[in-house]
């Protein structure tokens, strides 16, 4: 049981006791305080021009979203910002609205194949409502793709 549900259940139990009528009048609904993640839909454009539409919750990074939707985006370091295999190319407008890449991300981007002015690592870019409808281009190659050609699997 989640902490939120547990707290709500305990408040309900305490407030149902006749000696706690004051509490009963002031019981808070904690469920109303729980944030609701917004769904965001984007389109990944593969090097051959094929398009894959993907929908994920706000806060999901682009690499995870790609893996959940069978998009050919490797992510060899599993999102640790230690490789460049999740390199993506963003639209100018979206790129300009993002926080600046960290020094670590820039170091990894220096290793990326086909680097552009709007390149980012997918593991470092989280979905926001402003990205609704965004098109994400995948480069034609990565520098350290699995030798055996394996594709990332769902986790």
- Cβ distance 110 to 51 under 8 Å? no
Q: Give the pLDDT confidence score for residue 151 in this predicted structure.
A: 55
Is residue 80 predicted with pLDDT exceeding 60? yes
Q: What is the pLDDT of residues 6-21, one digit of tens each?
A: 444 444 444 455 555 4
The pLDDT, as a whole number, for residue 13 is: 47
Q: What is the pTM of this model?
A: 0.71
What is the band of 84 on the pLDDT scale with cuts at 50, 70, 90?
A: very high
Supply 78's token pair.
């599993």
Average pLDDT, the chain: 81
Q: Across residues 49-53, what is the average pLDDT? A: 97
% of the chain beyond a pLDDT of 70: 69
Q: How many residues does the chain have?
A: 155
Beta bridge partners of 45: 51, 137
Quick check: 155 pLDDT over 70?
no
Picking from 127, 91, 87, the residue whose alpha carbon sits closest to that of residue 106 is: 87
- pLDDT of 142 reads 78
pLDDT in tens, 16-38: 555 554 444 444 444 456 577 89
For residue 126, the model assigns a pLDDT of 98
Nearest to 24 by CA among 16, 32, 36: 16
């Amino acid at each position: 049981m989640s902490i939120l549900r547990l707290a709500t259940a305990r408040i309900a139990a305490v407030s149902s006791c006749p000696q706690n009528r004051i509490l009963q009048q002031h019981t808070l609904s904690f469920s109303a305080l729980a944030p609701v993640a917004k769904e965001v839909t984007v389109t990944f454009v593969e090097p051959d021009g094929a398009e894959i539409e993907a929908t994920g919750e706000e806060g999901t990074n682009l690499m995870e979203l790609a893996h959940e939707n069978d998009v050919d985006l490797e992510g060899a370091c599993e999102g640790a910002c230690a490789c460049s295999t999740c390199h993506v190319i963003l639209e100018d407008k979206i790129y300009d609205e993002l926080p600046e890449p960290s020094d670590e991300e820039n170091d990894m981007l220096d290793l990326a194949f086909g680097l552009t002015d709007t390149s980012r690592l997918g593991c470092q870019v989280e979905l926001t409502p402003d990205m609704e409808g965004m098109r994400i281009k995948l480069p034609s190659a990565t520098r350290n793709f699995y030798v055996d050609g394996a594709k990332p699997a769902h986790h």
